[in-house]
Structure 1
Amino acid sequence: MLEVKNVDAGYGDTQVLFGMSMAVRRGEVVAIVGSNGVGKTTLMRTIAGLVKPTRGSILLDGVAIGGEPSDAIVERGVVLVPEGRRLFQRMNVRRNLELGAYSKRARPHLAERLDYVHRLFPILAERAQQLGGTLSGGQQQMCAIARGLVAMPEVLMLDEVSLGLAPIAVDVVYDAIRAIRDTGVTLVIVEQNVGRALALADRAYVIQHGHAALSGTGRELSQNPEVQRIYLGLGSPTQQETTA
């Protein structure tokens, strides 16, 4: 459904992605994991049209979308929930959600999409008149995901989905992600909680130095000795001290 082929991208003179390639099949959950600063967020932003690739191609159902404006990519059904939530702090929850239906694709379906996200996250219906900036971190993440869902995505990309959240909020968010997957939405998740991401993912990519260094099913990567040692902290103390 979604293909990234040999993509280079970055910011000004700073290149971040180097020949990045990945593929996402329809209905999958694909996790993107790796250390800080290796290009995970840049990859998501490039797919979403916020960063223009300098080389390579990005295809959605065989149609090239790399370099298109971000609003055009949203109209095609690719929606990014950015790192840090990025809510409108001085707008209430209801208005933040309504802005998810800005596109022509979603506008006619606003009422039904609001009903859907309120069932997925009941707290958002209870807090409809509360300002976005006064929500807890977990509630803000729920609101950000819900806003993305109001946009009627076929591919929903979640960047740093559990960053800074309390454990109980992480549980709620991951339960919601499973429910979203069950509706047939394709999910691409960037996550620093590697164990949690691999347990959920159908397939995953480990990003190092701006390209996919490892790929496989979530189970395969969770059992990979290198992934266990570097990302899951399961190597021997001696190995970990040597690496450090």
Structure 2
Amino acid sequence: MGNKGAIGLIDSGVGGLTVLKEALRQLPNEALVYLGDTARCPYGPRPAEQVVQFTMEMADFLMKQQIKLLVIACNTATAVALDIIREKLPIPVVGVILPGSRAAVKTTKTRRIGVIGTQGTIKSHSYRQAILSKTADTEIFGLACPKFVPLVESNETRSPIAKKVVAETLQPMRRNKVDTLILGCTHYPLLRPLIQSYMGDKVTLIDSGAETVGEVSVLLDYFNIANPDPTAKGKCRFYTTGSTKLFDDIAKEWLGFSLHSEHIELGIGG
């Protein structure tokens, strides 16, 4: 596969498109292949063993597409499956938690960092561990936001209900007076305007997925697998385990171009 192989991105649904959008911007020469497991989304409330199994099934599917590097563009999957997937695959595998943590540590002035994510991500304490490994004198406030992913997956990010849900959910986080807030789920940047508006201008939002693409760029150079040929530009393939229409509608709105995803089945009975 070498330099010509695509970069694979996997997510529990459409959230990883926020990472793909950044990859299109930062890595214009690279071909990208995306798989969203929308039929089994959300991953956040699921047991860790199930998330590992689903993530492995997605990784296996993309390995058959001859990918040269895999981005686990899902915080829940990164939290519980990254090390396992890294051991099993013969290619570099990148998660979204460490890059987001690094960016937050670099950004905060008050040493009060908030993390919002799925139940699985918050329960894993992965961000807390990653941040404290970089700086000990930091207060970290985690908050699970289980209603956010369904809002994004049902394409309701601009609805009045979304504004209400964001405000109600983030109330405890606003009381913590953080100056930096990690969007610890790749779905959350699709709610970014509402989150920023509620938290206020003095709070810096960290998009873990966007930060991850910088790490991918470094790894492509390190392993000498970057594609120098600009003819790959804009070559993207999209797969979903759920509705292709809903996926395509959300993707078009977020990415700014029309696309046609392909439906696939994963696991026993889909």
Q: TM-score, normalised by structure 1?
A: 0.31
Q: TM-score, normalised by structure 2?
A: 0.29
Tell me which protein shows more strand as a share of its residues.
Answer: 1
Tell me which protein shows more helix as a share of its residues.
Answer: 2
